[in-house]
A and B are shown apart, each in its own frame.
Chain A
């Protein structure tokens, strides 16, 4: 099991590093969307500081949508997916490894970029730390739910818009607890409860989402 998973992780990393541009697109999108808000609602520092947690979280959610259609598409096109299905390892585990690789390549950079964007909104240090912690706990759930939506929409006519329609309502709890943690810290309250709930969501996500995603992938190759 372990060699197969590490081989899969290595392969995803290698493929991604050969197309570095695609890794940067969601990051640019994240920074750009966050930058649009001050332009839309005005440069008043106090107002921006209040809306910053929500803005950063919503932008991270949208940016994590961008890379999802590619998660299974090229594997589907070149037949890799069929090999994964035929592999002796359970498909759900392989899907979990793919999601982990996807998060390392697309989710983690968002987490690392977020404090920089938070600084632009004048967030203090402890709030930035909570922002990072909440994104660190929350973005893997976004990748997991995204993998489920991506495998359901694989090869359908709806494409990426349909993917967004399926995924966004399911992401609401992550957004509520993630932005809630940052907001609580900004108001001087304890964000622990929010972070613990995010952790619980992530645990439940790892347990359940790969199964659903594997079932959906089997359908697309029927």
Chain B
């Protein structure tokens, strides 16, 4: 069988990038470079997340005007909407890294794919939870079998399936590839699921922010924008730090990893 492990030594000693890659973005595909780069990016991601989330939520909860129909309850959207965006895009990103890994056999892409899943699942869960809180005060019910709610629930189960599958396979390489195949099957299905469920039943309010313009007050829009960027920075930070852990787990026997203070100890 064309196993990826035979092409590459399982525990390469050091991994200097070939001369052709020096200066190219591709050198970050080496776990060693990625580990260092992500380590440098992480403080920025956390700082941005803290500042933007604080600003966005302060603006959203204290400054933005109350909605003339929904009163104060609408303010949950400053968390509800960003989590929906992250949950959906994280799945696409997962499938993207899975496809890259399957096509080019790059180990790091699979690690990024694995690192994205828990964040995406958490965001899908938060989205459902905040939606239920909002629905109780606005629609008077915790849950309705509406297209958007149901498709988010199904997305959550797709994440759950991915996490369960990758957790149940002991061989890391096989787990990577099986996860990538599943993520790709899922991402082909997500639009079909979305439209089938939409046809089935729709009650959720339509999108207020579209490429053609918005129907949101400027104060709300700024709050939403800042809190979205803040949650994105948080998601990037969480994914990068999880990916760093995965890199160290896989490469713990490599010489460069053993020289790191956190491994040497």
A interface, CB within 8 angstroms of B: 85, 148, 152-153, 156-158, 162, 165-166, 168-170, 172-173, 176-177, 180, 197, 201, 208-209, 212, 215-216, 218-222
Contacts and interface: CB of A to CB of B under 8 A. Distances in A.
B197 interface: yes
Q: How large is the interface on B (under 10, 10 to 19, 20 to 34, 35 or more residues)?
A: 20 to 34
B104 interface: no
B168 A158 contact: yes
Contact of B164 (A162, A172, A180, A216): A162
Nearest to A197: B196
Contacts of B186: 169-170
B1 A172 contact: no
A74 B47 CA distance: 54
A156 B178 CA distance: 11
Contact of A148 (B168, B185, B196): B185
B197 A169 contact: no
A208 B196 contact: no
Contact of A212 (B154, B160, B170, B185): B185
B121 to A, nearest CB: 13
B167 to A, nearest CB: 8
A169 B158 contact: yes
A212 B184 contact: yes
Contact of A222 (B165, B174, B181, B185): B174
Contacts, number: 82
Given A156-B165, A176-B200, A216 B181 contact: yes
Contacts of A156: 165, 168-169
23 contacts: A85-B1, A152-B178, A156-B169, A157-B168, A158-B168, A162-B164, A166-B182, A169-B154, A170-B186, A170-B189, A170-B193, A173-B192, A173-B193, A176-B200, A197-B196, A212-B181, A212-B184, A215-B181, A219-B174, A219-B178, A219-B181, A222-B3, A222-B174
Q: Taking each of B102, B182, B186, which has the highest tally of chain A beta carbons within 10 Å of its own beta carbon?
A: B182
A172 B199 CA distance: 12
Given A176-B200, A212-B184, A166 B161 contact: yes
Closest 3 CB pairs of A and B: A158-B168, A173-B196, A176-B196
B256 interface: no
Nearest to B188: A208
B30 interface: no
B3 A169 contact: no
Contacts of A172: 154, 193, 196-197
B199 A176 contact: yes
Given A156-B168, A158-B168, A169 B161 contact: yes
B177 interface: yes
B177 A219 contact: yes
Interface string B162-206: 001100111101100110011011101100110011011000000
A218 B1 contact: yes
B157 interface: yes
Contacts of A197: 196
Candidate in B3, B165, B185 with the most chain A CB atoms within 10 angstroms: B185
A50 to B, nearest CB: 16
B168 A162 contact: yes
Nearest to A164: B161
A79 to B, nearest CB: 14
